[in-house]
């Protein structure tokens, strides 16, 4: 009988518990921003605020990152998230440690029916995807937060109760040294799918569970394979069910096996059972060792509102989607980036509370869209009726020969930055600006994320303004959270070299055109007649305030 080995557990960092200053005090100390939960969303928000010079308290009930036992959880980080991490100063660590990929293949049985290259339409300095175990990402974020300062990161601080109020919330906390309470001007719940805060407030998340069952195997093996995302719709080595295969850091492969709906989850996760599956896939004689094995059942939920007074929900506390296409963790990271700059401007007195309402107006539709996309993938991979089975067989059979059918092969539409719907503060809707490489007029390199990395300002990108236009607008910009940059022309503004890719990204063409880009790199407005008054009005509109 073949024996199966487990790799040694990862040595995750641990941070010491420090008794908080409020412990044992009768004085209720007020903190402007309190974040609950040090997962990807909460850490990204804390890091984003710190990068902007905004103080926050971050409470987490553990003293480490990830999950003990080397469970890697999330692994795929999409381009928009990577661009955010570039601005936050940890992208290079992620790229050096993780596995960069853009190419994927889809198989039916032994036959390849479809492939894609996500890099084809990308102009960003960041790749379409990097695979990295979630605990590494969290680790890098903690290191960066500690480096930046501004964040009071409190380990072994478990929130037991909150009491919302008109101007904040009372937060009750349990620690190894005893309980205490603080007051939060704004409370952000990033505590995850099982949020106790959400439950305490009695908020209906409209949750549902799928009968579809999977077994995740994180494994190392000695068999050279290309660094690509491989998907089998009906793998012959998994009794005709779906399989995903991804490479992560440290030479660890994440392989997801679809299981029968009525399976015994304890049985399918036994090393000898998982090992037999893996042996069937890899063939005889291939050495391998498990890092982690675990069953998984997909579930989803979506709050009706992501803002409740002074309490905000981000990441899995607000929404959970099936992980097809990596739309879960990436969505939480992008929630944090959306809320961070808005909180910063409010804290700095440059915007009113109404700007914070736009978080829900933008991120809830994004979550609903992600939920819809992931649900359609689930239906394709686990058809619920004979008709759906017949349709899938037909699509897969046609995909090998006809391009139109390849678009219907749905094994997970990969995460992209969501567009935002038109609204009062976004009259034309919002679309992300990729972090494309640019050059200043003297040849020095830069990117949009580098332009947005300092402070919290919108970016006014002006194509070939006249000197008089630029000087008049610059006088107005001094009193606004706005930095002006020219593209070509002879103005006195900091000037970039003309770039056709930038013009296409922003949807502009003619000289004199002006594009307002928000601090989260979303396009807010296009102006064809950018007078100082028009620029100021566009900025006030984007910040949800009257001019």
Q: What is the pLDDT of residues 503-534, one digit of tens each?
A: 999 998 789 999 999 999 999 999 999 999 99
CATH code, 160: 3.50.50.60
Is 254:292 a contact under the CB 8 Å cutoff? no
Cα separation, 493 vs 147, whole angstroms: 33
Is 338:518 a contact under the CB 8 Å cutoff? no
Cα separation, 236 vs 380, whole angstroms: 18
Cα separation, 75 vs 62, whole angstroms: 21
- The token pair at 295 is 């069953």
Out of 362, 381, 400, a domain closes at 381
Choose the weakest-confidence range: 65-69, 130-134, 190-194, 497-501. Answer: 65-69
Residue 68 and residue 148 in one domain: yes
CA quadruple 225, 229, 232, 238: dihedral sign: positive
**DSSP classification of residue 53:** T
Is 336:314 a contact under the CB 8 Å cutoff? yes
Q: What is the mean pLDDT of residues 192-210?
A: 93
Work out the pLDDT band at 206, boundaries 50, 70, 90. very high
Give the H/E segment covering residue 483: strand 482-487
Choose the weakest-confidence range: 82-96, 103-117, 169-183. Answer: 103-117
Is 245 among the domain residues?
no
Choose the weakest-confidence range: 63-72, 96-105, 227-236, 278-287. Answer: 63-72
Q: What is the mean pLDDT of residues 218-235?
A: 91
Helix ranges (DSSP H) in 180-240: 196-200
Residue 195 and residue 310 in one domain: yes
Is 16 among the domain residues?
no
Q: What is the mean pLDDT of residues 436-440?
A: 97
Out of 381, 400, 423, a domain closes at 381
- pLDDT reported for residue 327: 85
- Residue of higher predicted confidence among 296 and 461: 461
pLDDT at residue 18 is higher than 90: yes
Cα separation, 503 vs 341, whole angstroms: 25
- pLDDT reported for residue 1: 45
**The three-state (H, E, C) secondary structure of 18-60, written as one string:** CCCCCCCCCCCCEEEEEEECCCHHHHHHHHHHHHCCCCEEEEC
Mean residue pLDDT across the chain: 92
Tokens 């997962």 correspond to 39
Q: Is 61 helix (H, G, I), strand (E, B) or coil?
A: coil
pLDDT digits (tens, 9 = 90+) for 48-62: 999 999 999 999 999
pTM (global) more than 0.85: yes
Work out the pLDDT band at 411, boundaries 50, 70, 90. low
CATH code, 519: 3.40.30.10
- pLDDT reported for residue 298: 80
Work out the pLDDT band at 410, boundaries 50, 70, 90. low
Q: What is the mean pLDDT of residues 371-393?
A: 77
Rg (CA), the chain: 25
Residue 35 and residue 136 in one domain: yes
pLDDT digits (tens, 9 = 90+) for 297-347: 888 899 999 999 999 999 999 999 877 778 889 999 999 999 999 999 999
Cα separation, 147 vs 330, whole angstroms: 24
Is 250 among the domain residues?
no
Give the H/E segment covering residue 298: strand 288-302
Residue 377 and residue 453 in one domain: no
pLDDT at residue 21 is higher than 90: yes
Q: What is the mean pLDDT of residues 126-138?
A: 95
- pLDDT reported for residue 297: 83
Work out the pLDDT band at 262, boundaries 50, 70, 90. confident
Q: Is 485 helix (H, G, I), strand (E, B) or coil?
A: strand
- pLDDT reported for residue 6: 66
Residue 488, number of CB atoms within 10 A of its CB: 16
Is 218:70 a contact under the CB 8 Å cutoff? yes
Q: Is 313 helix (H, G, I), strand (E, B) or coil?
A: strand
Residue 79 and residue 164 in one domain: yes
- pLDDT reported for residue 413: 73
pLDDT at residue 5 is higher than 70: no
Cα separation, 318 vs 530, whole angstroms: 38
Give the H/E segment covering residue 212: strand 208-221
Q: Count the domains in the chain.
A: 2
Is 410 among the domain residues?
no
Q: What is the mean pLDDT of residues 87-113?
A: 94
**End-to-end CA, the chain:** 76
Is 172 among the domain residues?
yes
Q: What is the mean pLDDT of residues 431-460?
A: 96
- pLDDT reported for residue 2: 58
Is 104:116 a contact under the CB 8 Å cutoff? yes
Is 399 among the domain residues?
no
Residue 335 and residue 190 in one domain: yes
Cα distances (Å, whole numbers) of residue 39 to 58, 161, 167: 11, 19, 26
Residue 49 and residue 177 in one domain: yes
pLDDT at residue 161 is higher than 60: yes
Residue 66 and residue 158 in one domain: yes
- pLDDT reported for residue 308: 98
CA quadruple 216, 406, 334, 44: dihedral sign: positive
Pairing of strands 482-487, 307-308: unpaired
- pLDDT reported for residue 4: 63
- pLDDT reported for residue 414: 77
- Residue of higher predicted confidence among 67 and 308: 308
Residue 451 and residue 516 in one domain: yes
- The token pair at 208 is 């549902």
Residue 393, number of CB atoms within 10 A of its CB: 14
Cα separation, 490 vs 470, whole angstroms: 10
Cα separation, 360 vs 367, whole angstroms: 10
CA quadruple 457, 462, 465, 469: dihedral sign: negative
Is 363 among the domain residues?
yes
Domain that holds residue 476: 438-542
Residue 181 and residue 59 in one domain: yes
Q: What are phi and psi of 126, to 5 degrees?
A: -100, 150
């Amino acid at each position: 009988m073949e024996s199966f080995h487990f790799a040694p557990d990862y040595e995750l960092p641990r941070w010491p518990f420090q008794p908080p200053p409020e412990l044992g005090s009768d004085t209720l100390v007020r903190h402007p921003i309190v974040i609950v939960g040090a997962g990807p969303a909460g850490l990204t928000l804390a890091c984003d605020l710190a990068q902007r010079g905004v103080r926050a308290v971050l409470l987490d009930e553990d003293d480490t990152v990830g999950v003990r036992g080397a469970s890697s959880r999330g692994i795929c980080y999409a381009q928009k998230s990577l661009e955010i991490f570039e601005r936050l100063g940890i992208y290079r660590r992620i790229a050096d440690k993780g596995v960069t990929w853009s190419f994927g293949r889809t198989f039916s049985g032994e036959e390849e029916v479809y492939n894609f290259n996500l890099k084809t339409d990308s102009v960003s300095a960041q790749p379409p995807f990097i695979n990295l175990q979630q605990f590494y990402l969290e680790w890098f974020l903690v290191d960066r937060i500690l480096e930046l300062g501004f964040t009071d990161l409190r380990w072994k601080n478990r929130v037991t109760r909150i009491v919302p109020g008109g101007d904040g919330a009372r937060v009750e906390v349990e620690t190894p040294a005893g309980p205490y309470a603080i007051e939060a001007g704004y409370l952000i719940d990033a505590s995850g799918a099982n949020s106790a805060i959400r439950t305490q407030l009695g908020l209906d998340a409209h949750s549902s569970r799928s009968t579809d069952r999977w077994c995740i195997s994180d494994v190392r093996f000695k068999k050279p394979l290309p660094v690509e995302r491989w998907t089998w719709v009906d793998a012959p080595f998994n009794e005709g069910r779906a399989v995903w295969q991804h490479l992560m850091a440290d030479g660890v492969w994440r392989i997801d096996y679809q299981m029968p709906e009525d399976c015994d989850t304890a049985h399918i996760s036994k090393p000898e059972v998982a090992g037999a599956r893996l042996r069937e896939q890899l063939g005889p004689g291939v050495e391998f060792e498990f890092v982690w094995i675990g069953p998984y059942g997909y579930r989803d939920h979506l709050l009706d509102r992501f803002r409740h007074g002074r309490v905000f929900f981000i990441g899995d506390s607000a929404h959970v989607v099936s992980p097809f296409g990596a739309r879960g963790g990436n969505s939480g990271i992008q929630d944090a980036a959306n809320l961070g700059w808005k909180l910063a401007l409010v804290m700095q007195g440059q915007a009113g509370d109404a700007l914070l309402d736009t978080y829900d107006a933008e991120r809830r539709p994004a979550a609903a869209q992600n939920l819809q996309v992931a649900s359609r993938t689930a239906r394709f991979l686990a058809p619920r009726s004979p008709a759906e089975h017949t349709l899938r067989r037909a699509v897969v059979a046609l995909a090998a020969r006809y391009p139109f059918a390849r678009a219907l092969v749905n094994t997970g539409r990969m995460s992209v930055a969501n567009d935002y719907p038109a609204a009062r503060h976004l009259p034309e809707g919002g679309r992300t600006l990729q972090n494309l490489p640019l050059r200043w007029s003297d040849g020095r390199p830069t990117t949009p994320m580098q332009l947005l990395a300092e402070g919290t300002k919108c970016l006014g990108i002006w194509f070939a303004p006249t000197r008089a236009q630029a000087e008049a607008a610059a006088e107005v910009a001094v009193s606004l959270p706005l930095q002006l940059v020219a593209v070509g022309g002879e103005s006195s503004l900091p000037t970039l070299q003309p770039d056709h890719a930038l013009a296409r990204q922003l949807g502009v063409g003619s000289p004199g055109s002006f594009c307002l880009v928000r601090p989260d790199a979303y396009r807010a407005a296009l102006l064809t007649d950018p007078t100082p008054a028009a620029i100021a009005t566009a900025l006030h509109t984007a910040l949800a305030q009257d001019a």
